[in-house]
Structure 1
Amino acid sequence: MKLHLQKSIINKQSAIQITGSKSESNRLLLLQALFPEISIKNLSNSDDSVLMTKALASKSNVIDIHHAGTAMRFLTAFFSTQEGRSIELTGSQRMKERPIAILVDALNQLGADITYKENKGFPPLLINGKTLTKHKVTLKANVSSQYISALLLIASKLKNGLELTLEGKITSVPYIKMTLSLLEDIGVKTTFKDNLITVFPNNQPLKASNQQLTVESDWSSASYFYSIIALSEVGTQIKLSSYKNNSLQGDSVLADLYKAFDVSTTFEKDTILLQKNNNTSPNTVINFDLANAPDIAQTIAVTSFALGLKCHLTGLHTLKIKETDRLVALKTEIEKLGGTVTITDNSLTLEASDNINQNVTIKTYNDHRMAMAFAPLALKVPITIQDYKVVSKSYPTFWDDLDQLGFKFSI
Structure 2
Amino acid sequence: MNLQLYRSEAFPESTIRVSGSKSETNRLLLLQALFATIQLENTSNSDDSEVMIKALHTSGELIDIHHAGTAMRFLTAYFATQPGREVVLTGSPRMKERPIKILVEALRQLGATISYEAEEGYPPIRIVGKKLSESKVALPADVSSQYISALLLIAAGLENGLELTLEGKITSIPYIQMTLQLLKEVGITAHFEGNTIRVVPMKEILAPVVVTVESDWSSASYFYSIVALASPGTAITLSSYKANSLQGDSALADLYQSFGVETTFENKHVVLKKTNVPLKPVTFELNHTPDIAQTIAVTCFGLGIGCHLTGLYTLKIKETDRLEALKTELEKLGAAITITDDSLTLEASTTINPNVSIATYHDHRMAMAFAPLALRVPIIIADAGVVSKSYPQFWEDMKAVGLKMEEVKA
TM-score w.r.t. structure 2 length? 0.98
Give the Cα–Cα distance (whole angstroms) in 2 for the partners of residues 353 and 168 of structure 1.
39
The superposition leaves residues 105-148 of structure 1 with CA deviations (integer Å, 9 ceiling, x where unpaired) of: 11011100001001111000000001111111111111011000
Partner of 1:84: 84
Corresponding residue SS for 1:6: strand
Unaligned runs of 5+ in 1: none
Q: What corresponds to 1:31 in structure 2?
A: 31
User: Deviations for 1:19-75, whole angstroms, at most 9, x for unmatched residues?
Assistant: 000000000000000001111000100000001000000000110000000000000
Quick check: 1:263 aligned with 2:261? Answer: yes
| Structure 1: distance between partners of 2:398 and 2:148 | 35
Aligned CA distance change for structure 1 residues 10 and 238 (closer, same or farther; 3 Å): farther
Are the counterparts in 2 of residues 10 and 405 from structure 1 also a CA contact under 8 Å? Answer: no
**Residue in structure 1 matching 2:303, options 301, 307, 327:** 307
Question: Following TM superposition, where does structure 1 have runs of at least 4 consecutive aligned residues deviating by more than 3 angstroms?
Answer: 7-10
Q: Distance in 1 between matches of 2:183 and 2:268?
A: 23
**Which aligned pairs between 1:237-386 and structure 2 lie closer than 5 A?**
237-278=235-276, 280-281=278-279, 284-386=280-382
Aligned-pair CA distance for 1:13: 1.3
Confirm or deny: 8 A CA contact 1:10 1:232 kept in the other structure: no
> Aligned residue for 1:60?
60
Q: Percent of counterpart pairs with the same letter? A: 64
Q: Distance in 2 between matches of 1:239 and 1:7?
A: 19
> What CA distance in whole angstroms lies between the structure 1 residues aligned with 2:367 and 2:131?
42
1:21 aligns with 2:21: yes
Q: Map Cα deviations across residues 296-331 of structure 1 (whole Å, 9 max, x no partner).
A: 000000000101111001111111110000010000
SS at match of 2:126: strand
- CA shift for structure 1 position 205: 2.8
Deviation, structure 1 residue 206: 3.3
Question: After superposition, what is the alpha-carbon deviation per residue over 1:274-308, rounded to whole angstroms, capped at 9, x for unaligned?
Answer: 00001542xx1111111111000000000001011
Secondary structure of the residue aligned to 1:187 is coil
Change (3 A) 1:348 1:363: same
Within the candidate set 228, 231, 250, 2:229 is matched to 231
Contact 2:156–2:199 (CA under 8 A) maintained in structure 1: yes
Quote the Cα distance in structure 1 between the aligned partners of 2:337 and 2:152: 37
Superposition CA RMSD, Å: 0.9
| Offset, 1:204 | 2.6
What amino acid sits opposite 1:142 in the alignment? D
- Give 1:12 shift: 4.3
Query: Number of matched residues?
Result: 407
- Contact 1:10–1:407 (CA<8 Å) still a contact in 2? no
Secondary structure at 2:121 match in 1: coil
Task: Give the Cα–Cα distance (whole angstroms) in 1 for the partners of residues 82 and 35 of structure 2.
Answer: 13
Q: Name the SS of the counterpart of 1:181 in structure 2.
A: helix
Shift of 1:167: 1.3
Separation in 2, partners of 1:249, 1:32: 20
Q: Distance in 2 between matches of 1:22 and 1:280?
A: 35
8 Å CA contact 1:13–1:237 kept in 2: the answer is yes
For 2:207 and 2:168, how far apart are their aligned partners in 1?
37
Residue 398 of structure 1 aligns with an amino acid whose one-letter code is F
Question: Distance between the aligned counterparts of 2:14 and 2:85, measured in 1?
Answer: 50
Q: Distance in 1 between matches of 2:119 and 2:35?
A: 34
Query: Which runs of no fewer than 5 residues in structure 2 stay unpaired?
Result: none
Deviation at residue 237 of structure 1 after TM alignment: 0.1
Using the alignment, how far apart are the partners of 2:22 and 2:205 within structure 1? 26
Secondary structure of 2:403's counterpart equals coil
1:26 alignment partner AA: N
Q: Which amino acid aligns with 1:316?
A: L
Contact 1:263 1:277 in 2 (8 A): yes
Q: Matches of 1:147 and 1:205 in 2, distance apart?
A: 24
Alpha-carbon distance in 2 for matches of 1:9, 1:379 = 10
Report how far residue 104 of structure 1 moved.
0.5
Distance 1:364 1:343 in 2: 18
User: Counterpart of 1:252 in structure 2: which amino acid?
Assistant: S
Does residue 1:401 correspond to 2:391, yes or no?
A: no
In 2, are the aligned partners of 1:38 and 1:212 still within 8 Å (CA)?
yes
In the alignment, the residues of structure 2 paired with residue 176 and residue 219 of structure 1 have an alpha-carbon distance, to the nearest angstrom, of 16
How far the C-alpha of 1:8 sits from its partner, in A, is 3.5
Rate the CA distance shift 1:9–1:82 in 2: closer, same or farther, 3 A: farther
Whether 1:107 aligns to 2:107 is yes
- Measured in 2, the distance between the counterparts of 1:334 and 1:166 equals 37
The answer as to whether partners of 1:162 and 1:199 remain within 8 angstroms in 2 is yes
Q: In the aligned structure 2, how far is the partner of 1:98 from the partner of 1:337?
A: 29
> Which amino acid in the other structure matches residue 321 of structure 1?
I
Q: 1:209-236: per-residue Cα shift (whole Å, max 9, x none)?
A: xx11100000000000000000000000
Contact 1:24 1:215 in 2 (8 A): yes
Secondary structure at the aligned position of 1:108 is classed as helix
The residue number in structure 1 matching 2:188 is: 188
Q: Report the more deviating stretch, 378-387 or 272-281.
A: 272-281
